[in-house]
C-alpha cells in the first residue's frame, strides 16, 4: 500500500528525484468534475515559491495523461506526470557510499538493499510535488461540495546562516458536513494524522485542543451544545470530530515539523562499515521549509477529505 493514499479516492505516486519524471495516478475520482487548470497551476506555484527556495529550478508543469475529456473527468484514472527537467546527477556521486545523518539513506538501504542516492531518490522532498498535484484535484472535488481548506504557519522559528529551523502549521477545513468518517479504525482524525505524518519532516499532530486537552478537566473540555436549534457547539475542543466522525463544526488541527537536516555545515556521514567521513554539502538549501509546506498540508488534508466524500453507500 506504501505508494497509494486513500481507499476510494486513491492516488498512487511514483518517481525518484533525479529520474525521468515523478507523478501519479488518481483512481476513484467521480465523473463529471470540471478540471480547473488555473487551480492546478496556482497550487504548484504555492509549493514552488516559498521564501528561501532552493536554487534548483523546478518548472513543475503538471501534464494530464488520461481521465479528462473535454474538460471534465471521465471517472477513469487520472494520470499526471511532472518531468524532472535537466537535472545534473554528478553532484551526488560522493553520496553513493555514504549515509548522511537524519536522512533516509541508511533506512532505504536497510529495507531494499539499494537506493537511488541522487538527491534523496524516492525519499526526496520533491516527491511532495505529486502530493500537491493530486491534492489540487481533490480540492476541485471538495470545492463543488462547499468544502474549503486553509493552512497557515502558526509558529515559525529562524536560523542563522548555514543552519535550519522549522515550526508548526495549523489547518482548518470548513464546510464539512456531519457524518463523514468511519468509526473504530478509519476515524477521520486517525486518517488525518496518518496523512500529516506522511509529509517529510512532520513529527507531531494534534486535533482541536490537542496536547493542551491533556491538562483540561472533563467539565472544561467537553464541547457543550449551543442549544440554538442547530447542532453547533459553544466550543470546538474536539476539532470537529466525535467518535471518528465529523460533527459539522470546522475541522482544525496542527502539525509540528522538525527543521530540515541538510544544512550548509560539514557533516559526519558513515559508510556501510560504520566508519565516519566528513562531507560538505553543496548548494543552497531552504533555511525554513514551512512556507513551501503549507500547500502540502492542504493537499494531504484534501486527499483525506475527498476519500471520505467519495463514500460507499452506508444507509439503505
Q: Rule CB under 8 A: which of 43-82 touch its own copies?
A: 63-67, 69, 72, 74-79, 81
Contact with its own copies (CB under 8 A): which of 155, 266, 283, 284? 155
Least spacing, CB of residue 254 vs its own copies, in Å: 9
* Stretch binding its own copies (CB under 8 A), from 36-44, 51-59, 159-167, 291-299: 159-167
* Dihedral Cα 208, 212, 217, 223, nearest 10 deg: -10
For the bound state, the minimum distance from the C-beta of residue 309 to its own copies, rounded and expressed in Å, comes to: 7
Q: Does 257 bind its own copies (CB under 8 A)?
A: yes
Minimum CB separation from its own copies for residue 43, in Å? 19
87 touches its own copies by CB under 8 A: no
Please select the residue that binds its own copies; options are 165, 295, 296, 302, rule is CB under 8 A: 165
Residue 39 contacts its own copies per CB under 8 A: no
Quick one: which of 38, 86, 90, 230 contacts its own copies (CB under 8 A)? 230
x/- site string to its own copies, residues 187 to 216, per CB under 8 A?
x-xxxxxxxxxx-x--xxxxxxxxx-xxxx
* Grid cell in block for residue 183: 468509526
Q: How many residues bind its own copies (CB under 8 A)?
A: 153
Q: Which residues of 92-128 are buried (b: 16+ CB within 10 A; e: fewer)?
A: beebeebbbeebbbbebeeeeeebbbbbbbbbbbbbb
Instruction: Please tell me whether residue 283 binds its own copies under the rule CB under 8 A.
Output: no
Q: Which is nearer to its own copies, 147 or 238 (CB)?
A: 238
Opening angle at CA 206, ends 203 and 209, nearest 5: 150
SS3 assignment, position 171: strand
Among candidate residues 156, 161, 139, 172, the one with its CA nearest the CA of residue 36 = 139
The C-alpha atoms of residue 89 and residue 151 are separated, in whole angstroms, by: 34
Contact between 103 and its own copies by CB under 8 A: the answer reads: yes
Smallest separation, CB 85 to its own copies (Å):
14
Q: Which of residues 287-306 bind its own copies (CB under 8 A)?
A: none
The whole-angstrom separation of Cα 244 and Cα 301 is 15
Q: Using CB under 8 A, which of 261, 266, 282, 283 touches its own copies?
A: 261
Is the CB of residue 154 less than 8 Å from the CB of residue 171? no
Q: Can residue 38 be called a binding residue for its own copies (CB under 8 A)?
A: no
Q: Does residue number 316 form part of the binding site for its own copies (CB under 8 A)?
A: yes
Which positions ≥6 away from 50 have C-beta within 8 Å? 286, 289, 290, 291, 292, 293
Contact partners, residue 76, CB within 8 Å, separation at least 6? 66, 67
Q: Does 184 bind its own copies (CB under 8 A)?
A: yes
Amino acid at each position: 500500500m506504501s505508494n497509494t493514499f486513500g481507499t476510494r479516492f486513491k492516488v498512487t505516486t511514483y518517481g525518484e528525484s533525479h529520474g525521468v519524471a515523478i507523478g501519479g495516478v488518481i483512481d476513484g475520482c467521480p465523473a463529471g468534475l470540471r478540471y480547473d487548470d488555473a487551480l492546478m497551476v496556482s497550487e504548484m506555484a504555492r509549493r514552488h515559491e516559498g521564501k528561501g527556495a532552493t536554487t534548483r529550478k523546478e518548472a513543475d508543469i503538471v501534464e494530464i495523461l488520461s481521465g479528462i475529456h473535454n474538460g471534465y473527468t471521465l471517472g477513469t484514472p487520472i494520470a499526471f506526470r511532472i518531468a524532472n527537467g535537466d537535472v545534473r546527477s554528478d553532484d551526488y556521486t560522493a553520496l553513493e557510499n555514504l549515509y548522511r545523518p537524519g536522512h533516509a539513506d541508511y533506512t532505504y538501504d536497510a529495507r531494499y538493499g539499494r537506493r537511488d542516492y541522487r538527491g534523496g531518490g524516492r525519499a526526496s522532498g520533491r516527491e511532495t510535488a505529486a502530493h500537491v498535484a493530486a491534492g489540487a484535484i481533490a480540492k476541485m472535488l471538495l470545492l463543488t461540495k462547499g468544502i474549503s481548506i486553509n493552512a497557515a504557519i502558526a509558529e515559525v522559528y529562524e536560523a542563522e546562516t548555514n543552519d535550519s529551523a522549522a515550526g508548526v502549521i495549523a489547518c482548518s477545513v470548513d464546510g464539512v458536513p456531519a457524518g463523514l468518517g468511519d468509526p473504530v479504525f478509519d476515524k477521520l482524525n486517525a486518517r488525518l494524522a496518518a496523512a500529516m505524518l506522511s509529509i517529510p519532516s512532520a513529527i507531531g499532530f494534534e486535533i482541536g485542543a490537542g496536547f493542551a486537552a491533556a491538562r483540561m478537566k472533563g467539565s472544561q473540555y467537553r464541547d457543550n451544545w449551543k442549544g440554538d436549534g442547530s447542532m453547533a457547539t459553544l466550543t470546538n475542543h474536539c476539532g470537529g470530530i466525535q467518535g471518528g466522525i465529523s460533527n459539522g463544526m470546522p475541522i482544525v488541527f496542527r502539525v509540528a515539523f522538525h527543521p530540515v537536516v541538510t544544512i550548509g555545515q560539514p557533516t559526519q556521514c558513515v559508510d556501510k562499515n560504520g566508519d565516519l567521513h566528513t562531507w560538505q554539502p553543496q548548494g543552497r538549501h531552504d533555511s525554513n521549509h514551512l512556507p513551501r509546506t503549507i500547500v502540502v498540508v492542504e493537499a494531504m488534508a484534501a486527499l483525506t477529505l475527498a476519500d471520505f466524500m467519495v463514500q460507499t453507500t452506508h444507509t439503505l
